[in-house]
Structure 1
Amino acid sequence: MDWDDFQAALFDLDGVITPTAEVHMRAWRDMFTAFLGARPEQAAYTDDDYFRYIDGKPRYDGVRSFLLSRGIMLPEGSGAAESSRETVSGLGNLKDEMFADTLQRDGVQAYPGSVALLDYLSDRPIVLGIVSSSRNAVNVLKAAGLLERFAFVVDGKVAAQQGLPGKPAPDTYLHAAGLAQASATTSVVVEDATSGVAAGRAGRFGLVVGVDRGAGADALTSAGADMVVTDLDQLIDTAQRTDDKERS
């Protein structure tokens, strides 16, 4: 790919820039395993459930999607202040508490390949932005020391404030392209979740890159990825990598 063809690069965060998708996965697994423990008639929660029903979606949408897969109906609850373990928002809030506790305790380091790509793009006239369903995106970027690398962050909080539907709808990415003063066709979407890839395809973005951190190359391609990589340093121009190696 030629980065000079694009004006904006829009990255998902968890699983693309930082390995926090693994922390999210553990939090979802622990939360739903405990929840299903009181329902022995239900099939146990697995990591496949995460990729099928939760990955990349806004938190409460992920709860709804998983519960629907098990035929479980719960009341919505009262939102961010809800603490009941028998409501959609209560379960989502519990998962968020588990994630925040882990982030504070363990911190986070970005993928080296992702940092390498950010370094490469820092010398190019391209606007970099984060588009994440998580409401923890800014805290994750601060913990990783990367917040200043991005011109803006469109996260779950921004989506709620702007009334934007979450992925797989394209609205958060289209909003980000507007902040970058770029069109969808001159913007790149970089995603590790099928829902995020589907959002990029629905928005008719110029290039949709799938990053296979576990979703599977076939699933990402089927969702609409134009290309699939396993690490972001594979998106660095080969000639540039050769020049850097010779200088070192």
Structure 2
Amino acid sequence: MTDAARFRPADFTAHLFDLDGVVTPTAQVHMHAWERMFSEFLTSRGVREPYTDEDYFTHVDGRPRYDGVRAVLAARGILLPEGDPSDPGEQPVGAETVSGLGNRKNALVLSLLRAEGVSPYPGTVAYLDSLPAGARLAIVSSSRNAREVLEGAGLLDRFEHIVDGNVAAHEDLPGKPAPDTFVHAATLLGVTPARAVVYEDAVSGVRAGAAGGFGAVIGVDRGAGPDELAAAGATLVVQDLEEIA
């Protein structure tokens, strides 16, 4: 694994950042929304095994929304209809479909963000400020709310491209841990993966960066664990990007 002192951001042309947990602390908002949604759903089904943080890091973190729903349900032997992305997600748990549960979770996230707002990680802002002039920057997020979050955090104009869940759906790109969304962002920036760095806090996102042949994959440990991120393919693990600013 690369030593922090040996990693030189200036050696790379492009920098591809996950959003939730790397740029903004919205991963905690997502964790809370997943926990609330699944706790309500599992209780309504009489399922005794509660939803836990381990479920989040194992089945949900970094994945597209509906993939996360499927993974948690599969872990408990529950099979639901796929439904449709337009399925309602209203209280108490919305339509009992994969789409309905995912939409309920998303409604909770938006409600929390609008009520509490969002501020970027100071260390990440310091790192963005430290990058060389001319560095090419993009956001690569499974979230469909990336633009709204960036705008609320005052960072929308920092990034040339946003490859989020909406772009992935439009371009028919598989989500993380597949590398396709990161590769698409590199292509939009006009660079090969070898000339780009991936910054990720999720095991699935680190796996995506490693699978894409990127020049470096920086794991930001916000709870997934340094060993887990390293095992997934991170070339360097830090607790905050300010460590390499």
Using the size of structure 2 for normalisation, the TM-score is 0.94
The amino acid of 2:23's aligned partner reads: I
1:105 alignment partner, SS class: helix
Q: Distance in 2 between matches of 1:129 and 1:235?
A: 19
Counterpart pick for 1:17 among 17, 23, 34? 23
Counterpart pick for 1:100 among 85, 101, 110? 110
The amino acid of 2:123's aligned partner reads: G
Query: How many pairs does the alignment contain?
Result: 235
In 2, are the aligned partners of 1:42 and 1:70 still within 8 Å (CA)?
no
Indicate the residue corresponding to 1:209 in structure 2.
218
Alignment of 1:28-43 (within 5 A): 28-43=34-49
Please say which of residues 71-80 and 37-46 is displaced more in the overlay.
Answer: 37-46
In 1, are the aligned partners of 2:179 and 2:212 still within 8 Å (CA)?
yes
Indicate the residue corresponding to 1:177 in structure 2.
186
Q: Distance in 2 between matches of 1:213 and 1:41?
A: 29
Unaligned runs of 5+ in 1: 237-248
Q: Distance in 2 between matches of 1:86 and 1:145?
A: 36
1:120, CA displacement in angstroms? 0.8
Instruction: Map Cα deviations across residues 186-214 of structure 1 (whole Å, 9 max, x no partner).
Output: 10000000000000011011100100000
1:125, CA displacement in angstroms? 2.4
Indicate the residue corresponding to 1:88 in structure 2.
98
The amino acid of 2:139's aligned partner reads: I
Indicate the residue corresponding to 2:208 in structure 1.
199
In 1, are the aligned partners of 2:198 and 2:216 still within 8 Å (CA)?
yes
1:85, CA displacement in angstroms? 3.0
In 2, are the aligned partners of 1:169 and 1:202 still within 8 Å (CA)?
yes
2:128 alignment partner, SS class: helix
The amino acid of 1:103's aligned partner reads: L
In 2, are the aligned partners of 1:130 and 1:150 still within 8 Å (CA)?
yes
The amino acid of 1:88's aligned partner reads: V
Q: Distance in 2 between matches of 1:89 and 1:169?
A: 21
1:82, CA displacement in angstroms? 4.0
Counterpart pick for 1:115 among 117, 125, 136? 125
The amino acid of 2:120's aligned partner reads: A
In 1, are the aligned partners of 2:17 and 2:138 still within 8 Å (CA)?
yes
Counterpart pick for 2:32 among 26, 31, 45? 26
Q: Distance in 2 between matches of 1:234 and 1:38?
A: 45
Indicate the residue corresponding to 2:3 in structure 1.
none
In 1, are the aligned partners of 2:88 and 2:104 still within 8 Å (CA)?
no
1:80, CA displacement in angstroms? 3.1
In 2, are the aligned partners of 1:10 and 1:129 still within 8 Å (CA)?
yes
Counterpart pick for 2:142 among 127, 133, 139? 133
Q: Distance in 2 between matches of 1:116 and 1:231?
A: 10
In 1, are the aligned partners of 2:87 and 2:95 still within 8 Å (CA)?
no
1:71, CA displacement in angstroms? 0.8
1:48 alignment partner, SS class: helix
Instruction: Map Cα deviations across residues 34-64 of structure 1 (whole Å, 9 max, x no partner).
Output: 0011233430011111000000000000000
2:22 alignment partner, SS class: coil
Indicate the residue corresponding to 1:239 in structure 2.
none
Query: Identity rate of aligned residues, in percent?
Result: 57
1:86, CA displacement in angstroms? 1.1
The amino acid of 1:212's aligned partner reads: D
Indicate the residue corresponding to 1:230 in structure 2.
239
Unaligned runs of 5+ in 2: 1-6
Counterpart pick for 1:72 among 78, 86, 105? 78
The amino acid of 1:59's aligned partner reads: R
1:188 alignment partner, SS class: strand
Indicate the residue corresponding to 1:48 in structure 2.
54
